Amino acid sequence: MRTSTRRLGTSTSASAAVLFLGLLAAPATYAGTAFASSPGAGGTADAGKTTGRHCAVNVDTEAVSCYATFREAIAKATGGRITDGPEEARTAAADAAFERQVNTASTSAAAPAATTLISIEYQHPDYKGETRSMYGTRGSCTSGATYKRADIRTLYADWNDKISSFKGQSGCRVNHYEHSNYGGAQTGYKSAMKDMGLMEDKTTSLRWAK
Ligand SMILES: [Ca+2]
């Protein structure tokens, strides 16, 4: 790996020390440069980190903010408009009041949807496990906006082949594809799936549309 490219006579132990220090420094640098300018609404100590069970993921800018609670991730993914979302991620998928709240936030003329929640992706079937609240900056699918990501690994590498249920938001139906660039098997555009069948733990690319 990296040590194979070192050809300047650095000793093995020195190389190892440099590599070790690099590993220690990397997360702090990453968090400081990539996320410092986008603290989560109602943020906590977890805001702006890539660790945490519940993350808000901007599919347009690739910004990722992770939190200890689902409610905080929803606050971030709705631009701070919904700060009293469900505490339990699982209940959000079946919460009609929450869905209306999201739709209102995304279509309000008074607050054009600079930040629009477009889907909640779950780690496990039946809307369980960790979540990734996907959001965009071009309005709701109801208003005609579409979103796409050709490879989820550019957003969040360790969520490749991990999604096992999902719920579309803001009028978006979501198509999940087995491979990058919308290849392989697919779910078809669906507003929600609590069990993705053969597509469980397979998603590598996604599209959102009305
Ligand atoms: Ca895949």
Percent pLDDT > 70 in the chain is: 73
69 C-alpha to center of ligand 1: Å?
27
Percent pLDDT > 90 in the chain is: 63
Q: What is the CATH number of domain 12-209?
A: 2.60.20.10
Task: With a cut of 70, say whether residue 2 has pLDDT above it.
Answer: no
Mean pLDDT in residue range 14-36: 39
Structure confidence at residue 4 (pLDDT): 42
Mean pLDDT in residue range 71-79: 95
Mean pLDDT in residue range 93-105: 89
Q: Average per-residue pLDDT in the chain? A: 80
Q: Let me know how long the chain is.
A: 210
11 C-alpha to center of ligand 1: Å?
40
Structure confidence at residue 104 (pLDDT): 84
Question: Left if phi > 0, otherwise alpha if psi is -120 to 50, otherwise beta: which for 91?
Answer: alpha
Mean pLDDT in residue range 121-127: 97
140 C-alpha to center of ligand 1: Å?
27
203 C-alpha to center of ligand 1: Å?
5
Of residues 163 and 35, more confidence is placed in 163
25 C-alpha to center of ligand 1: Å?
31
Query: DSSP of the chain, one letter per residue?
Result: -GGGG--S---HHHHHHHHHHHHHHHHHHHHHHHTTT-PPTT--TTTTBS-SSEEEEETTT--EEEESSHHHHHHHHTTTS-SS--SSHHHHTT-HHHHHHHHHHHH-SSS--SSEEEEEEEEETTTEEEEEEEEESS--TTTT--EEES-GGGT-GGGTTT--EEEE-TT-EEEEESSGGG-S-B--SBSEES--GGGTTT--EEEEE-
Structure confidence at residue 158 (pLDDT): 87
13 C-alpha to center of ligand 1: Å?
39
Structure confidence at residue 94 (pLDDT): 86
The pTM is what?
A: 0.76
Which of 85, 154, 166, 165 is CA-nearest to residue 118? 166
Task: With a cut of 60, say whether residue 10 has pLDDT above it.
Answer: no
Q: Centre a 10 Å sphere on the Cβ of residue 6 and count the other Cβ atoms it contains.
A: 14
Extents of the domains making up the chain: 12-209
206 C-alpha to center of ligand 1: Å?
11
202 C-alpha to center of ligand 1: Å?
4
